[in-house]
Structures are given as C-alpha cells and as structure tokens.
C-alpha cells in the first residue's frame, strides 16, 4: 500500500457538527433549530421534519452524545490520538436563539470560549463551520429561510459576532456546510437542512428549483459578505467554502453520457465556482436566465461576490457519482437524481453508499485543476454498525480498511500529483447522530459512545481498534498506515 509522509504542519484530526453531538438543545438560552425538529429515521425510513417539537416523538439531536457536558473528556481523547485540528460548528441558535435578535446570547458564546480554550490547551486547532444544518427554526417559520433576502443580514450578523469573539482563538473557518447539497432541489430534507426551506404541498419541481437558485444566491452573497468582514476583523483568518464533492463520471464512453456528466458537474460545482472566482460560471448563469430561476440579483450582490472570495476549498468526500443518458438526456437535466446510475465496479456500505477510495484522488486532482487553491478534506469516512465485545473492545477493521485505502489515495495526490492539501479531518471522529438518518447506530467514530437508536445507553466513551490505528497514522505523519 502506497504511503508517504505529509508536509510539515499537515492538519490531522477529525470532524463533527454541533447539532449532531452537543445535545443540551434548550440549555443556557439555546433556541430551536431545524435539527431540533428532525425525528429519528433509519436506513430505509427518512427522518421527518415536524412543525415544532411534538411531544412523544424521538428527536435524537436534543440530547445527542451530550458533548455540551462531556467536551473536556472528549477533546482529551482526541488529543490522545494526536489530533492537530478538530472541526465542529457553532450552533447558530446558541448565539442567536431565534436568529433575528439584535444582541447575542452571552451564555452560548461562553460555551465556545471554553471549548476553544480546551482545544488550545492540547494544541488542537479548531476548524469552524458557521452554518451546518442548524438554521434557527424561527427564521424558517417567520421568514421562509433563505428564500428571503433578509436572511443575508441575519447570517452576516451571526458570522460577524463569531469572528469578533473568537478572533484570537479560531483561525480556520467555513461559511456553509455542503452548500452544494441543495442542487438536489426536490429533496425535502436537504432543502430544509441547507437552506431552511419547507416546501408547501403541491409545489412543482420547477417551483422548487427556482426557490433553490434564489436561496442559494442569497447564501452565496451572505457568505461573500461574511468572508469580507472576517478578513477585515483578522487578516490572518483562513476562510473557506465547503462542498460535498463527488466526482462525476459517465457510465459509458458515449458522448451523450460524457456531456451529461459535464452538465451534472456544472450544476453542482457552481457553488464553489462562485466562492472561488467571485462570479457565476457561464453555463449556470445561462441556465438560470433561460429558466427564469433568479429574479432577484442586484449589482451590489455581484460586487459583493467579487469581494468575498475564499482562501481555500474544503470538501467532504464519501463517494463518486455515475450518470447515464439512458435515464435523462443532457439538455433535459434538471433533477440530478434522475441521471444517477449504479456503478457496477463498486461495493456499497450498509446504507448503500458506494465505496471508492481512488475517487478521493480523482477529487483532489479535479478540484486542484479547477481552482488552484489549497484544499482541505473536512469529511470522509464509513458509517457502519459496530459490535461491542464482552470486554468492551470494538474490532472495527472494516473502518480501518476504509480509512487506510482513502488516506493512501490522498497521499498519492499530495506526493505524486502535487496537490496542496491543508489537512484530513475524517467525519464523526466520535460516534454521533447521523445527519441523514438520525441514527446513533450508523457509526463513524474512533471513539465509541454507548447510546443506541432508541436513545438508550450510558453515554460512556471507549476506544475502538481504529483509535489506536489512527493514533499511529498521525504520529508517523501518515507514513505508517
Ligand atoms: P450521515 C448527504 C449527502 C452527503 C453527505 O452523513 C451528507 C448528507 C446529509 O446527510 O452529510 C454530510 O450522517 C454532513 C454531515 C453528515 C455526514 O455527511 O447521513 O456534512 O453532517 O453527518 C455523513 O451518514
């Protein structure tokens, strides 16, 4: 297996998001977020997004793994693995409980003071996402989420408060998690989590797609304005965008399949294109105009986009995408899901996610060629069922195999292909609530947490085999896989 030492200062670590691990959903003044109204689902049963919190339903994010009260113990374990960086998010509703207040909630700000101080005590750099599926529910109900231009101000205010407060304790920032997920505009779950949009029954696909392009535009303007302010507050800040990057390939060599793959990529990549280049790419601009999908864009918006471009491109990598023009012709592509074909060469996880380590090398090459910017892998990993042995150990060799093969491909990209990579932060370094299904039993962690899908368990933390393996990877700076 190929391995190589990573450059000095490479940020090995792990990633989580506030709503998936903190719990304490209504403590110390925290408001209700979209994550607080999402019920538990399963591999086959989608999560329900309810209209407020309905008694008797199971909302796994309410208590999650109670990181809010366990963070010292958890960060200590991450330090023991040798983490150089730890990615989490700042729960928007801890800082602005409803989202439209004029003053922030001091108790919420203090929690992150303590968390970042603990990270620094162990030499761990916090890497912070501002909006990770945590939009205040009040902003969704009252304003329609990001379909409303006012959301720009609310987000920018939230960002500015965080930048000022953590000016000296956080250097690495990202604005919106997986901002490109909403390219699946008719996926109710992703539209709610990404953009705070709850579709009304009976809306057509065309109306949903239009809502997405308008909302995404406001998010991109909000992101750009925040980045500009952030750089003024501290010129040393490194602020990135964050996309869910899945390299696209044609099922066959036919030109229709190849063109379809290109169109598919264009409809996803424009989110990061705007972040990097400060303007819309030609194809997507033409598509939006042709379809009349974005009535509200101003000269000031276009100016803002050019002034708030990113320092780096962060991305999650889980799988590649394969498309077939048997399903949809390139010029008829709207609903991206319709183009997707099953790749016969790949195996799948228990949740049906294709496993493709070489896809990570392809991703790193594509993004480098397209953007010429430093890249940052801020999510990657395998959601799997774990079995706890009688002595408490967890032999998760499947997870080690998955991570080892991905890290090896990543190291090829850095060593052989010259990719400028800031770090590797695999997802769910401690077991947490799955975003997609709300399950605890879809586990990603090096650290096991005793809690199941029904919400039962002691919350005790323990080390899986992968904990010791990753510790060795980090101490050898990537050489000993
Ligand atoms: P879970 C959809 C597609 C790809 C990644 O996902 C996604 C999603 C949303 O579910 O989410 C990212 O927990 C996301 C994390 C999430 C992780 O991938 O469904 O940034 O919040 O937990 C893994 O297995």
Q: Please state whether 214 falls in left (phi above 0), alpha (psi between -120 and 50) or beta.
A: alpha
pTM over 0.80: yes
ipTM value, please give it.
Answer: 0.97
Q: Whole-number mean pLDDT of the chain?
A: 98
Say which CATH class 11-475 falls into.
alpha beta
- For residue 31, the model assigns a pLDDT of 98
pLDDT digits (tens, 9 = 90+) for 187-222: 999 999 999 999 999 999 999 999 999 999 999 999
pLDDT digits (tens, 9 = 90+) for 134-153: 999 999 999 999 999 999 99
| Residue 272 CB less than 6 A away from ligand 1 | no
Average pLDDT estimate for 68-84? 98
Which atom of ligand 1 lies nearest, measured to the CA of 381? Answer: 23
- Residue 10: HSE in the Cβ half-sphere, 13 Å Cα cutoff: 24
Average pLDDT estimate for 333-346? 97
Residue 43 pLDDT level (bands cut at 50, 70, 90): confident
| Residue 442 CB less than 6 A away from ligand 1 | yes
Q: Check if 110 is active-site.
A: no
Cα–Cα distance for residue pair 266/260, rounded to 1 Å: 10
pLDDT digits (tens, 9 = 90+) for 399-454: 999 999 999 999 999 999 999 999 999 999 999 999 999 999 999 999 999 999 99
The percentage of residues in the chain with a pLDDT greater than 70, rounded to a whole number, is 100
Of the listed 22, 379, 409, 411, which one is catalytic?
Answer: 379
| Residue 443 CB less than 6 A away from ligand 1 | no
Average pLDDT estimate for 20-36? 98
What are the backbone angles phi and psi of residue 246, rounded to the nearest 5°?
A: -135, 100
């Amino acid at each position: 297996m190929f391995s190589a030492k990573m450059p000095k200062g490479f940020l090995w670590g792990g990633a989580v998001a506030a709503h998936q691990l903190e719990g304490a959903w209504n403590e110390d003044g925290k408001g209700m977020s979209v994550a607080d109204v999402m019920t538990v689902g399963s591999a086959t049963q989608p999560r329900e997004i309810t209209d407020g919190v309905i008694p008797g339903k199971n909302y796994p994010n309410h208590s999650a793994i109670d990181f809010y009260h366990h963070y010292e113990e958890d960060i200590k374990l991450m330090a023991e693995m040798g983490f150089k960086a730890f990615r989490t998010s700042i729960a928007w509703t801890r800082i602005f409980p409803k989202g439209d207040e004029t003053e922030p909630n001091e108790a919420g700000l203090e929690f992150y003071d303590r968390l970042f101080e603990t990270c620094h005590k162990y030499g761990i750099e916090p890497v912070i996402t501002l909006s990770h599926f945590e939009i205040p529910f009040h902003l969704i109900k009252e304003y329609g989420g990001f379909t409303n231009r006012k959301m720009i101000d609310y987000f920018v205010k939230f960002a500015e408060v965080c930048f000022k407060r953590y000016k000296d304790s956080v250097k690495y920032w990202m604005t919106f998690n997986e901002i490109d997920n909403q390219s699946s505009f008719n996926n109710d779950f992703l539209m709610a989590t990404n953009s705070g949009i709850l579709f009304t029954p009976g809306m057509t696909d065309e109306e949903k797609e239009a809502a997405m392009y308008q909302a995404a535009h406001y998010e991109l303007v909000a992101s750009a304005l925040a980045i500009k302010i952030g750089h003024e507050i501290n010129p040393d800040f490194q602020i990135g965008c964050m996309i869910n990057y899945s390299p696209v390939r044609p099922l066959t060599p036919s030109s229709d399949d190849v063109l379809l793959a290109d169109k598919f990529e264009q409809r996803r990549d424009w989110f990061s294109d705007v972040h990097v280049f400060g303007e819309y790419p030609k194809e997507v601009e033409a598509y939006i105009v042709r379809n009349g999908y974005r009535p509200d864009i101003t000269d000031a918006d276009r100016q803002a986009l050019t002034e708030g471009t990113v320092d780096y491109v962060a991305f999650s990598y889980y799988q590649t995408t394969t498309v077939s023009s048997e399903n949809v012709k390139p010029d008829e592509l709207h609903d991206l899901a319709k183009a997707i074909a099953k790749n016969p060469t790949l195996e799948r996880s228990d949740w049906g996610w294709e496993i493709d380590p070489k896809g990570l090398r392809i991703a790193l090459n594509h993004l480098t060629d397209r953007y010429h910017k430093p890249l940052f892998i801020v999510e990657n990993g395998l959601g799997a069922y774990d079995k706890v042995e009688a002595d408490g150990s967890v032999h998760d060799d499947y997870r080690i195999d998955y991570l080892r093969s991905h890290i090896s491909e990543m190291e090829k990209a850095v060593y052989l292909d010259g990719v400028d990579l800031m770090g590797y932060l695999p997802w769910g370094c401690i077991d947490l609530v799955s975003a997609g299904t709300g399950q605890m039993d879809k586990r990603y962690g090096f650290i096991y947490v005793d809690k199941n899908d029904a919400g039962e368990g002691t919350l005790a933390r323990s080390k899986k085999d992968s904990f010791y393996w990753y510790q060795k990877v980090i101490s050898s700076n990537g050489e000993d896989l």
